[in-house]
Structure 1
Amino acid sequence: MNTEAITAPARLRLGDQARLASVGIRSRPLRAALSALGIAIGVAAIVAVLGLSSSSQAGLLAEIDRLGTNLLKATNGQTLSGKEAQLPREAPARLSMLDPVEQVAHVGTVADAKAYRSPLVPATHTNGLQIRAASLNLPSVIATGIAHGRWLNEASATKPVTVLGATAAQRMGIDRVYPGQRVWLGGQWFYVAGILRPAVLTTEIDTSALIGYPAARQYLNHTGVSNGKPADGHPSTVYVRAVTERVGAVQSVLARTANPKAAGEVDVSQPSDALTARAAAEGAFNSLFLGLGAVALIVGAVGVANIMIISVLERRSEIGLRRALGATRRQIRTQFLAEAVALALIGGAVGVTAGVAATAVYAKTQGWAVVIPVESWVGGIASAILIGALAGLLPAIRAARLSPTEALRTV
């Protein structure tokens, strides 16, 4: 008879090892749930941070694609003496003659004129609003539309009629347009014709009360001189839509085309750059929140290690009995290590579910596409398993080192 075959310990199958690993979790579910909570929070933070960041950036990039990256803006800068420069009245016409330019619109800030809800509002309460004369094609060029009412036309541009930017209307407490509605602009009443939707690429329009150039000239003294005769006032900002493939070329000549005599007094920018920078800036906060998630994972690891050490102390009799019945040190070590990993895996799975759910809910409320990077949930699960293995290693080794006689003293 082969005595080695009789005395050799039986090899546990994977299913048996899984059942043994679940004994401690099933016998103490509340304690197991609390110890896995830290890992769940950490994994949820990692998944949610990466998911929300990716969804936000996807939403911003979609917004950029919708609004277009081919909008350029030329504004009046400063003279060499530090005073505010002035764009020539001919600047929009000059820019429209460039071959790659598709559309040109412009606005002119009406100096020393403020916008109020009524003349009863104290003069110091300007709410940061400006009155701007606007060309009639402005909404289509800056990719915005009318939220309420209607835009200016050739007739209303000559009358005391205004269209409010989205923020201007909000600060004035106006959320709809009705016949006879008026606001106090530059010391006299103007009728409200409409309210614009938010202008994402040109936020200065949001805080503006927009009127026609002829009305600005007649009612608010926004005038200029052309060929020695009084004319409409100077533009302060010119918006240019160029062929997308040639935006760089247009941008390089925009200043000297707008003002050939003083190109240095013209500031040129590409509004879509601000959205792109915003997407990058939001990604910069990822490291901070991922760090917080890592802290939560470490706290969870401490919790798992703690419960496993307590579990070893409480289950000394079980360990001794199993050793007396022939279980090897390796099998005892595998049992407790697998239990720690299972505990962490449960926390990781709950964390991934919570993180995905949080991302989906918030992204839907913001109108973003729900984007969950593969590395977020794979990394979350992998980090949970790693944390569980590291946290359970020392208690598992400690359990495996217990001799049957020492462990059975507690029976």
Structure 2
Amino acid sequence: MPGGTTPPRPVRLSVLDILGLGLVGIRTRKARTVLSALGISLGLATMIVVTAIPASSQRALLERLSALGTDMLRVQPQPGHDPPVALPAESLAMTGRIGPVTAVSAVANTHAEVHRSDRYDRADYTGLSVLAAKSDLLPLINGRVAAGRFLDRGSGDFPTAVLGSVAAARLGFPGIEPDAPAPQILIDHSWFTVVGVLERTPLSPDIDRSVLVGWNPARAELGFDGRPTVIYVKAEEEHIEAVSQVLPATVHPELPGMVTVSRPSDALTAKQQTRSTFSALFLGLALVALLVGGVGIANTMVISVIERRREIGLRRALGASRGQIRLQFLTESVVLSTLGGLAGTAFGVLAALAYAAFHQWPVVVPLPVLTAGLSATVLVGALAGVYPSVRASRLSPTEALGASA
């Protein structure tokens, strides 16, 4: 160089200096900052909500299934056959001999009609089933008595009845008063005393619509032949699949193909899976919202470069390098998206907490979603700031100062 002088080198900026320069545009344009970050916030908040709510719902369902019993199987003949397939009377005892089976009970359809009193129209049919039930049925279906008591050995040989929740409402007996005379109902041509009302049984909705009578009174009063219609089986949970495979041949050795074995808890699980399908759709919409928020930030940064050309030219004239200019605007874009991401995380978590509390679910906010969401917002902010930062760095001092004059 002439005269032995060297060109001035740009001052190296520290991380705090770069962060301070990146915050200049955010501090001076607060309204635009809020609106730009809003798109990112809504996208991330939606992403958190549509993952946290199904997770909380699934946890609540799993807890509910565990309480109700995921170790229960339901065995019954295949419907639609004429004449109907009947299970052998000894099938209950044969089922109890399976090694991993811990408990077994049954109900049987007596095909009797039930009415509130003897003063009824012959055309008036309540649509309720009268089931003969074993006295040990209630623990197997995880049922609970809402009022009165269940069929027991003391009353099992007498004409007593227990009403399911729907049956009790239709017959007009919502409860049993302890000090009042026990109500009676007419089943076919015999009077039965109502001794209890059950709570709703989620895994056995047919019980809700039934009137349960003792096994022996059903034989004596209703002509019941002692052949079960539905057998409920509880087995060790780790062997539940193996038990389900041997049950048809055990219950009906002559016609095992005419016997179906189901796991009632699977219906609730399938319902949860359907709900998860819709959650995937909403998650896709959340990602689109996040992308739209990134486009909004890019637009804001481009406008910011145009409006701040004088500042860019002045900094370039004072010795700032192109790399420092790029870093300034890229930092501003990343900070803007990070602020939006933090706000969106807070909104999403609060919304998920409120929704779970309203439905009395356990609160589950997946940590990987929070981490991935915040990382995605930073990445979107970086990508959104690439073009504006490169454009700003390419402005020469004379061009930038001349355009703003």
**Normalised by the shorter chain, which TM-score bucket?**
0.7 to 0.9
Shift of 1:90: 2.4
Q: For 1:363-378, list aligned pairs within 5 A.
A: 363-378=356-371
Which residue in the other structure is 1:142 paired with? 141
**Residues 1:62 and 1:307: Cα distance change in structure 2 (over 3 Å):** same
Shift of 1:300: 0.8
Contact 2:161–2:211, Cα closer than 8 Å, also in 1: no
Which residue in the other structure is 2:214 paired with? 212
Contact 1:108–1:237, Cα closer than 8 Å, also in 2: yes
Which residue in the other structure is 2:132 paired with? 133
1:95-135 Cα offsets, whole Å, 9 max, x none, are 22333322111112343636789988997896x75443322
Contact 2:107–2:229, Cα closer than 8 Å, also in 1: yes
Q: For 1:145-164, list aligned pairs within 5 A.
A: 145-157=144-156, 158-164=158-164
SS at match of 1:371: coil
**Residues 1:173 and 1:40: Cα distance change in structure 2 (over 3 Å):** farther
- For the aligned residue pairs, the C-alpha RMSD in angstroms reads 3.4
Question: Which residue identity is paired with 1:150?
Answer: R
Contact 2:160–2:195, Cα closer than 8 Å, also in 1: no
Of 231, 251, 255, the residue aligned with 1:238 is 231
Shift of 1:378: 0.6
1:61-111 Cα offsets, whole Å, 9 max, x none, are 3333334433221112147x5543222222212222333322111112343
**Residues 1:308 and 1:71: Cα distance change in structure 2 (over 3 Å):** same
Which residue in the other structure is 1:228 paired with? none
**Residues 1:325 and 1:238: Cα distance change in structure 2 (over 3 Å):** same
**Residues 1:183 and 1:401: Cα distance change in structure 2 (over 3 Å):** farther
Contact 2:183–2:194, Cα closer than 8 Å, also in 1: yes
**Residues 1:187 and 1:338: Cα distance change in structure 2 (over 3 Å):** farther
User: Structure 1 stretches of 5 or more lacking a match?
Assistant: 225-231
Which residue in the other structure is 1:196 paired with? 198
How far apart, in 2, do the equivalents of 1:172 and 1:31 lie?
Answer: 66
SS at match of 1:321: helix
Which residue in the other structure is 2:278 paired with? 285
**Residues 1:319 and 1:210: Cα distance change in structure 2 (over 3 Å):** farther
**Residues 1:209 and 1:14: Cα distance change in structure 2 (over 3 Å):** farther
**Residues 1:64 and 1:327: Cα distance change in structure 2 (over 3 Å):** same
When the two structures are superposed, what TM-score results if normalisation uses the length of structure 2?
Answer: 0.84
How far apart, in 1, do the equivalents of 2:306 and 2:121 lie?
Answer: 75
User: Structure 2 stretches of 5 or more lacking a match?
Assistant: none
Question: Which residue identity is paired with 1:52?
Answer: I
1:156-185 Cα offsets, whole Å, 9 max, x none, are 5533532323x5556778765434586977
Q: For 1:252-401, list aligned pairs within 5 A.
A: 252-401=245-394
**Residues 1:123 and 1:402: Cα distance change in structure 2 (over 3 Å):** farther
> Matched residue pairs, number?
398
- Is 1:407 matched up with 2:400? yes
Contact 1:162–1:190, Cα closer than 8 Å, also in 2: no
SS at match of 2:334: helix
Pick which of 25-34 and 372-381 moved more. 25-34
Pick which of 142-151 and 111-120 moved more. 111-120
Shift of 1:388: 0.9
SS at match of 1:11: coil
